[in-house]
Amino acid sequence: MRMLALYSIKGGVGKTASAVNLAAEAAAQGRRVLLWDLDPQAATTFYLRIKPKIRGGVARLVKGKAAFDKVIRATEVENLDLLPAALASREMDQLLAEQQENQLRRILKPVRHDYDLVILDCPPTLSTLSESVFASVDALLVPIVPTVLSLRTLEQLRDFLDRHDIPCQVWPFVTLADRRRHLHRDTIAELPRQWPLRLSTTIPSASVVERMGVERAPLGQFARTSPAAGAYRALWQEIAQRLQ
């Protein structure tokens, strides 16, 4: 079971849209995918038309006492299941801090043979939960808007991982890109020099991505021929090649 996390210290960078679309693309290619919404705002849960509720509570989930057949929910996307978030998910950070073994892989151990891929949609924080994510995943997929402030948070993430000696791979990729803007073009061109492990596919800024909140579905289900949907397909192909 491979694990990836959509993570950014900065909000508003297309993290949740990326999590949903990448999970849907992986599922469309036949992988058994579990998307875990770790953000108390539960945007991923909303996009996939699931009620924001963790049956049995967050505490039972963290302590390994949850009945996963009741916690995990099937979605309308074939091969894609969701472990939803709820407002109570904000308690997870404290609960993880109380556990001696706080890796998320331990929590998912009962279903490790049921899925080929787990994708985590993480809240934009540096916390105990974040450290558990860093210790559990094969790589962090970090969406960045091609601006100075977004790049600065990427540097902050790298400094944090180095300072705490956490050997977690970071694969940045550009979202919300507008190639009509000189700053965006210059930043995209400069990124490979600073981040050789960056993913080369760029996700454009597009109104159709914003419509995910109206349609409550990944792009592949209502705008499959759009440039943004094509970009997410290409991005998943790039990620899948790395995972091999």
Q: Please give the pLDDT value at position 128.
A: 87
The count of residues in the chain is: 244
* Structural domain for 171, as ranges: 2-243
Q: Please give the pLDDT value at position 20.
A: 98
Domain of 51, CATH number, reads 3.40.50.300
Query: Mind listing the pLDDT tens digit of every residue in the chain (244 residues)?
Result: 999 999 999 889 999 999 999 999 999 999 999 999 999 899 999 999 999 988 888 888 888 888 888 899 999 999 999 999 877 667 777 778 776 555 788 899 999 999 999 999 999 988 888 999 999 999 999 999 998 888 899 999 999 999 999 999 999 999 999 888 888 998 888 888 889 999 999 999 999 999 999 999 999 999 999 999 999 999 999 999 999 8
| C-alpha torsion angle, residues 112, 113, 115, 118 (rounded to 10) | 20
Kind of pairing, strands 170-177 and 139-144? parallel
Q: In a 10 Å sphere around its CB, with 0-12 CB exposed, 13-18 middle and 19+ buried, how is residue 100 labelled?
A: exposed
Place of tokens 């943004």: 228
95, 58 in Cβ contact below 8 A? yes
Collect all residues with Cβ–Cβ distance below 8 Å to 37 and sequence separation of at least 6: 43, 44, 45, 82, 83, 84, 85, 89, 121
Eight-class DSSP state of 88 = G
Name the token pair of 16: 């949740």
Cα–Cα distance measured from residue 52 to residue 3, given in angstroms and rounded to the nearest whole number:
22
* DSSP-based three-state secondary structure for 233: helix
Q: What amino acid occupies position 236?
A: W
Cα–Cα distance measured from residue 19 to residue 11, given in angstroms and rounded to the nearest whole number:
14
Domains of the chain: total: 1
Tell me, rounded to whole angstroms, the distance of Cα 163 from its chain centroid: 23
